[in-house]
Amino acid sequence: MAYTVAVAGKGGTGKTTLAGFLINYLVEKKLTPVLAVDADPNSNLNEVLGEDVETTLGDIREDVSIKNRDGKLPAGMSKTDYINYQLQQAVIEGKGFDLLVMGRPEGSGCYCFANGILREATDRLSDNYKLMIIDNEAGLEHLSRRTTKNVDIMFAVSECSKRGIEAAARVKQLIEELKLDVKDLYLIVNRVPPEGLSDDIKGTIESYDLKLAGTVPMDMKVFEYDNKGIPLVQLPKDSDAVKTSRQIFDEILITRLKA
């Protein structure tokens, strides 16, 4: 089974940015093949990675549900084979990684049938990879719906404020409520000002018993690339945000992956 790293937290905290940096890092370290999963319907992991999306899992679910209802699934092919075939078409091949986009959430139709098979097929697909990186939506809905719910490392990303840390602490609570099997949860505080974390923020982190993996500074280059529409994975390796996030990955991931 693929070693699974999930990135979670409130919208706008930098989940997708850090997921993109992580995927780029793993490819450079040749810790491949990597399966990147964009599990946030509002997300744009593909843009950070510089890839175009044609088909999402949401599209497949819609297509299969309608064809199944209307009796229009291709004859001579089992439903499972048909979904597997569709899933293969939805895998976007990048350089050293593949990307799967979950896409839109379920509508009001009946998706139980398509969902069940799709879920199993996605879980099976992940067996072909060394690592799976999941860019989550705030509520962790996708993780709770997977058949296998284990995550090796979860990074809860927070902005640099008391309220931000409190929101990250809710990720910890949500993991318990959803009964997710997360082996290690780490906090990353993003967009930290040059003066670093204040004693108050450090106190809040401690009071929630959160393990701090590290901090990533506010980096105007990230903004600049995003606003110009340049994929963030093209940021120079010595830019502040890239450099510090790589240090975090070196420290937290490398020893575990070599074990």
Ligand X SMILES: Nc1ncnc2c1ncn2[C@@H]1O[C@H](COP(=O)(O)OP(=O)(O)O)[C@@H](O)[C@H]1O
Which residues are at the interface with ligand X (CB under 6 A)? 9, 11-17, 190-191, 216, 218-219, 222-223, 226, 241
Strand ranges (DSSP E) for 75-211? 92-93, 97-101, 131-136, 150-158, 181-192
What is the residue type of 149?
K
When the beta carbons of 47 and 123 are compared against Mg ion, the nearer one is 47
Q: Are 174 and 151 in contact (CB under 8 A)?
A: no
* DSSP H/E element including 203: helix 199-207
Segment near Mg ion (CB under 5 A); pick from 32-40, 139-147, 182-190, 196-204: 32-40
Minimal distance, residue 110 CB to Mg ion, in Å: 29
Shortest Cβ 103–ligand X spacing (Å): 16
Under the criterion CB under 5 A, does residue 43 sit at the interface with Mg ion?
yes
How far is residue 157's CA from residue 8's CA, in Å, rounded to a whole number?
6
Among 4, 13, 16, 190, binds Mg ion (CB under 5 A): 16
Contacts of 67 (CB under 8 A, 6+ apart): 73
Shortest Cβ distance from residue 124 to ligand X (Å)? 27
- Our CB check for Mg ion shows the closer of 62 and 137 to be 137
Beta strands 92-93 and 97-101, pairing class: antiparallel
Composition of the chain by helix, strand, coil, percent to 5: 45, 20, 35
- The CA distance from 132 to 137, in Å, is 16
**Residues 123/96, Cβ–Cβ less than 8 Å:** no
The yes or no reply on residue 204 touching Mg ion (CB under 5 A) is no
Pick 19 or 121: Cβ nearer ligand X: 19
Cβ nearer to ligand X, comparing 47 with 63: 47
**Which CB, 118 or 241, lies closer to ligand X?**
241
12 binds, among ligand X, Mg ion, none (CB under 5 to 8 A by kind): ligand X
Per CB under 5 A, the segment of 37-45, 68-76, 164-172, 243-251 that binds Mg ion is: 37-45
The residue at minimum Cβ distance from Mg ion is 16
Please give the Cα distance from 14 to 8 (Å, whole number).
9
Closest contact distance (angstroms) between CB of 190 and ligand X is: 5
Nearer to ligand X, 15 or 146 (CB): 15
| CB-based burial label for 232 (10 Å; 0-12, 13-18, 19+) | buried
The binder of 226, among Mg ion, ligand X, none, by C-beta within 5 to 8 A per type, is: ligand X
